[in-house]
Amino acid sequence: MTKQALITGITGQDGSYLAELLLSKGYKVFGLRRRTSMPIMENIDHIKNEIEFIDGDLLDQGSLINAVRISNPDEVYNLAAQSFVATSWIQPVATGQATGIGVTNMLEAVRLVKPEARFYQASSSEMFGKVVETPQKETTPFYPRSPYGVAKVYGHWITVNYRESYNMYACSGILFNHESPRRGIEFVTRKVSDAVARIKLGLQNELRMGNLDAKRDWGFAGDYVKAMWLMLQQDKADDYVISTGETHTIEELVEVAFSHVGLNWRDYVVVDQKFVRPAEVDLLLGNCTKANEKLGWELEVGFEELVKMMVDSDLERLSK
């Protein structure tokens, strides 16, 4: 029997890679899409005819109930969120509603219409924030450092709570930063790859950035969506950290990206206080031994390969 999946956040980075993965496995894929004045289809343009779109919004409970009814899913992947940390200080309430309460809205829709559907929640390493141990694993206590991180902690615990209260198959993937040529342009990796390509092509002459000392554990989104799928194929629902086990500074990121096109980053990067955050997450480094051992999940793309892939992709896009 063909499996059916409902993906929220289908237009985003992860939604697009996950849709590709599920289509390649023969799933019928439904995507929750919110109304925008201009459709944002760049990430999924190549597969849009294979997806059945359902209009809805995480803030509109009825639309989610409707989406679960129409899609009759075996699996629900809740990827939608206000996902940019910096914006969460400017729009803390909207972030709390979409990234936090939105999870309960989605869980309620599943509980009411199809409680046997398997549910994936997109939790985040930002929940570890001001880290209390390194590396961070499933049992590491949370200490979020932004309205985004706080909302994700709520989304995480409500998912655990629905599993324990209603015996639903609900999993939380605690994913460390993952990137790709489809990453939103405001995130640091993509901001850098886009700027490096523009500088190389003579379209821009400097790159203004915030804190270069922060450290992140960056992986490739295409590898990480495989872990989401694996989490929903187990005998028992559980939570898993997904990471590379390597951490790099923003300065190292910039260095790899500029040197890939034969430039010295020090000639172009300017630190601008505008991009420094009110509270910083200084260090993220994940331990994903549990996912390696229980899910058999393995990483394929490493840090340098990822950065070069993103720079090459932006060079190709901007050269056209």
Residue 89 binds ligand GDP, judged by CB under 6 A:
no
Reference 63, options 10, 121, 5, 8; nearest CA is 8
**138 Cβ neighbours under 8 A, 6+ residues apart:** 174, 239, 240, 241, 290
Residue 92 binds ligand GDP, judged by CB under 6 A:
no
Residue 214 binds ligand GDP, judged by CB under 6 A:
yes
Q: Which residue in the set 71, 124, 140, 189 belongs to the binding site for ligand NDP (CB under 6 A)?
A: 124
- Catalytic residue (choose from 20, 75, 126, 179): 126
Three-state secondary-structure class, residue 219 = strand
Q: At what angle do helices 221-231 and 13-24 cross, to 10 degrees?
A: 60
Q: Which does 256 bind (CB under 5 to 8 A by kind): ligand GDP, ligand NDP, none?
A: none
- Catalytic residue (choose from 148, 169, 224, 240): 148
Q: Which does 287 bind (CB under 5 to 8 A by kind): ligand GDP, ligand NDP, none?
A: none
Reference 16, options 53, 41, 43; nearest CA is 43
Q: Which residue in the set 4, 6, 12, 44 belongs to the binding site for ligand NDP (CB under 6 A)?
A: 12
CB 247 within 8 A of CB 291: no
Q: Which does 74 bind (CB under 5 to 8 A by kind): ligand GDP, ligand NDP, none?
A: none
Residue 80 binds ligand NDP, judged by CB under 6 A:
yes
In the complex, minimum distance from the CB of residue 56 to ligand GDP, in angstroms, rounded to a whole number: 25
Q: Taking the CA atoms of the chain, what radius of gyration do you get in angstroms?
A: 19
The mark string for 173-212 relative to ligand NDP (x by CB under 6 A, - otherwise) is --x-xx-----x----------------------------
Strand intervals (E) in 69-222: 75-78, 118-124, 170-175, 178-179, 207-209, 215-216, 219-220
Q: Which residue in the set 4, 71, 82, 189 belongs to the binding site for ligand NDP (CB under 6 A)?
A: 82
For ligand GDP, the binding residues in 272-301 under the rule CB under 6 A are: 275, 277, 280-281
Q: Which is nearer to ligand NDP, 175 or 315 (CB)?
A: 175
Residue 244 binds ligand NDP, judged by CB under 6 A:
no
Three-state secondary-structure class, residue 46 = helix
Q: Distance between CA atoms of 146 and 92, rounded to whole angstroms? A: 9
Q: Distance between CA atoms of 266 and 254, rounded to whole angstroms? A: 9
CB 207 within 8 A of CB 270: yes
Q: Give catalytic residue positions.
A: 124, 126, 148
Residues that bind ligand GDP (CB under 6 A): 85-86, 126, 177, 186-188, 191, 209-211, 214, 216, 250, 275, 277, 280-281
